[in-house]
Structure 1
Amino acid sequence: MASDKRSRGSAARAGLLRAAAQELAATGHLEVAAVAHRAGVSVGLPYRYFGTRSGLLIAVAEDFHQRLCQASALRTYDAPTWAARERSRVRDWIAFLYAEPLAPLMLAGPVGDGEVAAAHTRLLSRLVDLGAANIAHGQATGELEPDRDPELTAAGVLGGIHAMATVALARTPTPPADLVTDQVWAFTRRAVGLRDRKD
């Protein structure tokens, strides 16, 4: 019985997250009543699961970043070189952003109050930490120049990738994802000091 209740609660929460993401992607802003209407539930239900409008916005951002990490940042690639693995990661990162309706809004930064902004900073910091560890590993294996600070470089690369994707997604027509991947990779390999110029 308790298990069924938890399952229903998880399904309801997931449905509200989907509705909130759809509302945000469609309108550029998020109102709790509109999310409830889109999800076909009472106006009070989003508050039950997320507490406040800010809580709902944070949950949407966290879900977006979790899916981004699953699609690219946390993936394990089998290629033998740092360059080959990271080029695949860039490809998957751009593919995710191209397929994700929320990407333009998430890349533009927080759309809420200070609590939302703080959560956005925390999520970006996690990506920077992952990137810094990855760059440090490449330096340790001798594939990357050792003169770059891994954390600063990871922050710069992350900002560069997201800025390039933002510009690409705003263009009409949108440039092909593989073209953007090539441009992002060309930027990334130079930023991190890749020694092997063949990949």
Structure 2
Amino acid sequence: MARAPLGRQQLLDAARAELVAGSGTVDLNALKRRSGLSTGALYHHFGSKAGLLVAIYEEFHAGLVAAIADETIADSIGWGTRERARTRNFVAYHFADPLSELLLGPISTEPEVAELEAAALARIIESAGRNIRTGQQSGELDPAIDPDLAGACVMGALRHGIAEQLRRHPRPSVDEATEGLWRFIAAAVGADRL
């Protein structure tokens, strides 16, 4: 992924650090100090503080989509093995980003971010439905399950499940979190019965 222009990237990096330090809030004076840029630069690149949060969320979501993309997983393996690997990539991505807990928690309630997250989740749910349908066509998943409903239920639960895993102290390992989430997914789509 190409890096943003210098001032824009400085603000993004500084805002990410400030969000982590401020448990989900960004003080403009602290952002100016950390980035070495003026408030005018913020407005030039993002239009507002909300625009900055939107850019951070978009960057996070683009990274997540890349981490769980089909290209990251061997194509020749069965549905269950492939989707377990995708679940692991999903967990590893969230565990590696210190903003994950905040983006799934307090920041997600910001109106601009909530709107983006709803649209992103809708796209992921649609993709999950197609994915489940493919598993049904290959005979690996229960054909009686409504793939679109199952995709919505699984993705909603996965989003809240990862948020729960991120809040735990001590945090489970990537493998432990993956196993817990995978057991739910497999049961929800009937993969544990075939």
TM-score range, shorter chain: 0.7 to 0.9
What number of residue pairs does the alignment pair up?
A: 190
- Percentage of pairs with the same residue: 37
Matches within 5 A, 1:1-199: 10-27=5-22, 28-78=24-74, 79-108=76-105, 110-112=108-110, 114-194=111-191, 197=194
- The answer as to whether partners of 1:72 and 1:89 remain within 8 angstroms in 2 is yes
- 1:85-140: CA deviation from partner (whole Å, max 9, x where unpaired): 1110111111111111011112226242x333212211221221222221121122
Distance 1:37-1:85 versus aligned 2 partners, 3 A rule: same
Distance 2:40 2:16 in 1: 18
Letter in 2 for 1:36: K
Distance 1:40-1:82 versus aligned 2 partners, 3 A rule: same
- The answer as to whether partners of 2:7 and 2:37 remain within 8 angstroms in 1 is no
Distance 1:92 1:9 in 2: 25
Distance 1:163 1:97 in 2: 12
Following TM superposition, by how much is the alpha carbon of 1:9 offset from its aligned partner in structure 2, in angstroms? Answer: 6.2
Distance 2:4 2:82 in 1: 39
Unmatched 5+ stretches in structure 2: none
Following TM superposition, by how much is the alpha carbon of 1:10 offset from its aligned partner in structure 2, in angstroms? Answer: 2.1
TM-score (normalised: structure 1): 0.85
Letter in 2 for 1:77: I
Unmatched 5+ stretches in structure 1: 1-6
SS at match of 1:110: helix
Distance 1:9 1:64 in 2: 14
Tell me whether 167-176 or 29-38 shows the greater mean CA deviation. Answer: 29-38
- The answer as to whether partners of 1:143 and 1:195 remain within 8 angstroms in 2 is no
TM-score (normalised: structure 2): 0.87
